[in-house]
């Protein structure tokens, strides 16, 4: 199995802290220490004769609104051939915490901002290939009176929005919740993360493998 990426093409990852993962720290630059760096290593290992350029413009704490505000500089002006977008868990968490204050992170606003990013991409670069990566939440708690239970339920709305946008814009899609839930049938969430969101090395490997599979030829 190989990716559909062509030799010397540019793949750009953009998103929040899960993508960022310390990429702005001197010791982790420029790809960070998370799934983006792990994907780069996987791709090099499996396709050594097909070098590609990989960039990371993830910023910790970002929401879909943040991506929209910096889209021109941090996505379009970098002229990627492929663009992988992973966003949504901060929108979900903030809206759940206080819907009135964080109304710009509602599912409806999330859809508007992310749709705007994708529309601008297609208008500026019609040949751009996109991979949309759903947000995820690793808790197995389904109770309606706990924060984790509520977050696990609400994040599904953001996941569905990403899936619908993938259909509308005819992009590739990675359903992260599905691949992590398969793993969590056999292991507790602590095997992957201490806060249900930020991944350890194993979690990063699972996500990177998912990206590789989503980009297969």
- Per-residue model confidence as pLDDT tens digits over 187-197: 999 999 999 99
Read off the pLDDT of residues 45-58 as tens digits, 9 standing for 90 and up. 999 999 999 999 99
Catalytic positions, written as ranges: 17, 195, 198
- 98 is written with which tokens? 């206080």
pLDDT (mean) for 53-76: 98
Contact 147, 96 (CB under 8 A): yes
Distance CA 170, CA 35 (A): 24
**CA neighbor of 7 nearest in space, from 52, 39, 46:** 52
Distance CA 38, CA 142 (A): 31
Write down the pLDDT at residue 154: 97
> What fold is seen in the domain 10-214?
Rossmann fold (3.40.50)
The pTM (predicted TM-score) of the whole model is: 0.97
Percent of the chain past pLDDT 70, that is, above it, reads: 100
């Amino acid at each position: 199995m190989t990716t559909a990426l062509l030799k010397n093409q540019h793949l750009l990852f953009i998103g929040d802290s899960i993508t960022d993962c310390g990429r702005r720290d001197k010791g982790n630059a420029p790809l960070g220490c998370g799934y983006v760096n792990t994907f780069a290593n996987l791709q090099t290992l499996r396709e050594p004769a097909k070098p590609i350029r990989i960039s990371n413009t993830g910023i910790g704490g970002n929401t879909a609104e943040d991506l929209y505000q910096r889209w021109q500089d941090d996505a379009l002006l970098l002229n990627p051939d492929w663009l992988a977008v992973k966003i949504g868990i901060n929108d979900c968490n903030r809206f759940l915490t206080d819907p009135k204050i964080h109304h710009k992170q509602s599912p409806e606003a999330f859809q508007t901002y992310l749709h705007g990013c994708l529309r601008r991409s297609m208008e500026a670069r019609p040949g751009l290939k996109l991979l949309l990566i759903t947000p995820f939440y690793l808790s197995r708690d389904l109770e309606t009176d706990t924060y984790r239970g509520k977050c696990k339920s609400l994040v599904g709305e953001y996941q569905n929005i990403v899936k619908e946008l993938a259909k509308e814009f005819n992009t590739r899609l990675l359903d992260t919740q599905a691949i992590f839930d398969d793993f969590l049938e056999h292991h507790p969430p602590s095997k992957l993360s201490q806060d249900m969101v930020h991944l350890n090395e194993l979690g990063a490997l699972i996500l990177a493998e998912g990206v590789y599979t989503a980009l297969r030829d």
